[in-house]
Chains A and B, each alone.
Chain A
Amino acid sequence: MADLTPNYRIRAGTLLLLFLTVYAVLNLLVQSLETYKELPEKDPVTLHEERIAKLKGALPAFGEVGYVTTVENEKIFAYERAFQNVEFLAQYVATQYTLAPLIVRNTPELPLVIGNFLDGPPAPGFLEKYGLAPIRDFGEGLILYRRDLRP
């Protein structure tokens, strides 16, 4: 059967697509250029990596270490699930990301424990409760602890 659709309709459809897609692409470009002007010297993950990397010499390459931060360990994931605060989880993930293949467990109950207190110290008594004694302070809120199990 002969195709009776006039070409002008197809041309109109093509022009509509061209106009809207190029508008979307250029809109994204403008946003990107604005972002470029405000780009920080380093992104947050790189900054965090550089901070955490200081620990590497003091830790084993393999095995596992514990982790404590400003809030209690179970709140790290709970805050993210409740859309309240992703910062604590991001710090924990970035620590694991930097130190892989060493496994960083979200618990203070291991012989070696990393303290990551970028957002302030933990609640009073928290470290004592788990018998965490500092081995070395790396600055910028980064402390390595040994768990002392003596009563």
Chain B
Amino acid sequence: MIFLITASLLISLILGVLLTLVFFPSAQGKAGLLFRCFAGGGLGIGVTACIHFLCLLTGLRGFTAAIDLAVCAFFGSILLIQYRKRRLRKEWDLPPEWPLSGHRVGLLDQGDRAKEPAPNAALPSRRGSPLQVLTIAVFSIALASSLISWAVACLKEPHGRWDAFLIWNMHARFLYRGGDRWREAFASGLDWSHWDYPLLLPLSIARGWAYAGVEMTHFPALMGFLFTFLLVGLLLTSLFLLRGPIPGCLGALLLMGTPFFIYMGTSQFADIPLALFILTTLILLFFQAGSPDHRPGAALLAGIAAGLCAWTKNEGLLFFVIAAGSLLSTAAYFQGWASSLRRTAWFLAGALPILLIVLYFKVALAPTNDLMAGFSLSALTEKLLDPSRYGQIARAFFVTGISFTQGSFDMRTGMHLQLGPVNILLPAVYLLITGIRIDPREKIGLVQTASVLLLMTVGYFFVYVLTPLDLNYHLLTSLNRLFLQLWPGVIFVVFMIARPLQADWPGDGPEPVPLPARPKQGQRRKTKIREAK
């Protein structure tokens, strides 16, 4: 049973890593491989959940594993063909073993400029300064502490918290136990369980149980663990690649030092998976901003990740629209309409298969969303023109914005400021101390990322303005989770714009950039012979 569960997760991981290798081949080196594992891990879980859904729809539930393996084999073959082509090209044009620095993956495709070493590139040495050693040591302690805290929370509540057994794990049980009658739950009228919520998380759990052939109580908790620490790892490795080990560790530390993050990770809610897919989209959008139009891989993968956001939670649909809109408008502004349309088309192409699944689910299976029920133009206008709602929401945004890192509010006492050691003010103070520096080459990517985060906050604001639910109840029970979904993205932006430590000690800067190796004597001779031929 353990073997089968492990196999289900390994297949997801392999598929995700294969997707990153096929569509985004430039991130190399150890940090690049780790980045692939963390970004690909999330993508793999999401894509295999989609495959499982298609298996349920077509009555091929028993063949999920075989279909997963076939999809892996398909992408594996593409990778093999790509690898052979690249090897041939290398033999003819380039010296062999030209490793591309991981931290330049986003800048790699910018043409000649990318071939210049980055201004803050450190020497190719692995030695670190005392500060780096201290940071890594503190990070290791924090990681171990977070793992222990996570384990204790899971022992305390193995079924997760309220929404886990009210919604997500409940849906997983219906999908798994329902057999061929799994559709019945959606028409059950059990509105309190929100059957209109997208199915990525319940499907991932049901898929694991289907592999094992038995319903393991602790599997949802294991999925919670994976999503939580994939998110930490993704933030760590992306900042490590782009800014070096110290910002990488600091970003991950800031996330682990957010008590509400660990709390939500153990809660088995869908907010942490959504935060993972949001961060994956933002990072891949950042990378695509530095790529030329003819390299669509990062945009395609960003589209897949954004599609998975829409398949995780309803907020993901808003995120998808905003991410696509932001990509279209910022690329048009900075790179022209032709480039913008091409990039957006690739982004949409990546998202399309998943969006079709979401569309089918919403049209054919899901009941009406509780926020859309009783929706009318007069009610909408009344709410939009009510200034007291704006005031109440603005106050809640301010209080929750400062307090959300500390956890949920007590329903009986309502909202009040909770200032822990880690809150939104800490990165602000950090930026004030270090100062801000934006690399002109990264400007487009950063504007894109920041605009998505800002527009999401505005979008959430208006969802509350229009909510048919009791406003106070709705704000109290959800706003902190919405802020947490965006928090990893905010941390990413903070460390991308913070002035970096000048690498006066080898190893403090970003991942070293090895210079192109001179071709060996024999290789040079072979190339000359080929050229002569």
Contact = CB atoms under 8 A, between A and B. Distances in A.
A36 B421 CA distance: 23
B470 A39 contact: no
B173 A28 contact: no
Contacts of B258: 24
A45 B500 CA distance: 48
Given A10-B500, A39-B155, A21 B257 contact: yes
A28 B145 contact: yes
Contacts of A29: 145, 148-149
Given A13-B434, A21-B254, A21-B256, A100 B173 contact: yes
Interface residues of A, number: 45
B165 interface: yes
The binding surface of chain A is classed by DSSP as helix
A16 B430 contact: yes
A128 interface: no
A105 B166 CA distance: 14
**Highest count of chain B CB atoms <10 Å: which of A5, A9, A11, A28:** A28
A21 B170 contact: no
A97 B170 contact: yes
B215 to A, nearest CB: 10
B141 interface: yes
Contacts of B184: 62, 101, 103
Contacts of A7: 501-502, 504
A67 to B, nearest CB: 11
Given A45-B165, A100-B173, A18 B430 contact: no
**Chain B, interface residues (CB within 8 Å), range:** 35 or more
Where chain B touches its partner, the secondary structure class is: helix
Contacts of A36: 152, 155
A14 B437 contact: no
Contacts, number: 161
B152 A24 contact: no
A96 B170 contact: yes
A139 to B, nearest CB: 23
B181 A62 contact: yes
Interface string A1-42: 001010101111110111011111111110111011001000
A148 to B, nearest CB: 25
B490 interface: no
B393 interface: no
Please indicate which of the listed interface residues A9, A18, A21 has the most CB atoms of chain B within 10 Å of its own CB: A21
Residue among A24, A43, A45, A103 with max Cβ neighbours from chain B (10 Å): A24
A94 interface: yes
Contacts of B141: 22, 25
Contacts of A26: 145
A33 B148 CA distance: 9
A9 B435 contact: yes
B152 A96 contact: no
Interface in A44-100: 45-46, 62, 64, 77, 81, 83, 90, 93-94, 96-97, 100
Most buried by B among A35, A77, A97: A97
Interface in B247-271: 250, 253-254, 256-259, 262
Contacts of B256: 21, 25
Interface of A: 3, 5, 7, 9-14, 16-18, 20-29, 31-33, 35-36, 39, 43, 45-46, 62, 64, 77, 81, 83, 90, 93-94, 96-97, 100-101, 103, 105
B364 interface: no
B434 A10 contact: yes
Given A16-B430, A21-B422, 4 more contacts: A22-B253, A25-B142, A39-B155, A90-B162
Nearest to B187: A103
B529 interface: no
Given A3-B502, A20-B426, A77-B192, A33 B152 contact: yes
A23 B189 CA distance: 47
A97 B145 contact: no
Nearest to A1: B437
Given A13-B434, A29-B149, A93-B166, A18 B501 contact: no
Interface string B367-411: 000000000000000000000000000000000000000000001
B177 A93 contact: no
Contacts of B470: 81
Contact of A101 (B158, B181, B422): B181
Nearest to B503: A7
Interface string B168-193: 01100110011101101100111011
B174 A101 contact: yes
B146 to A, nearest CB: 6
Given A9-B433, A20-B426, A22-B142, A100 B158 contact: no
